[in-house]
Amino acid sequence: MRKQRLTEREKRQIRERVQREFPGSKVLQNLHFYRYVKEIQWRTMSREEIVEDIKRGAREIKKAMKKDMPVLG
């Protein structure tokens, strides 16, 4: 199945929730916002699709990290 797309209203509600749960911590708010979004998206996906989604995200993060990391040596 395809990832469920969240509406702007759903995203706003999640953002408000994490702001209440983690006041004053933008890092934790962002982390849990992402977590809650993924929980909703994964409801309609199979286990294999969820694993592939996680792997795809990890590849994107690794690529971004390599691009932004200074070369030592």
The verdict on residue 41 lying in a domain is yes
Range of the domain at 50: 8-64
pLDDT for residue 1? 66
Q: How far is CA 27 from the centre of its chain?
A: 12
The verdict on residue 71 lying in a domain is no
Can you tell me the distance from the alpha carbon of 71 to that of 73, in angstroms, rounded to the nearest whole number?
7
pLDDT for residue 3? 76
Query: Which amino acid is residue 32, in one-letter code?
Result: H
Q: How far is CA 66 from the centre of its chain?
A: 19
pLDDT for residue 4? 80
pLDDT for residue 70? 63
pLDDT for residue 71? 55
The verdict on residue 51 lying in a domain is yes
8-56 confidence digits (pLDDT tens): 999 999 999 999 999 999 999 999 999 999 999 999 999 999 999 999 9
Under DSSP, the state recorded for 2 is P
Tokens of 1: 């199945």
The verdict on residue 30 lying in a domain is yes
59-73 confidence digits (pLDDT tens): 998 888 888 766 554
Please tell me the total count of domains within the chain.
1
The verdict on residue 2 lying in a domain is no
The verdict on residue 3 lying in a domain is no
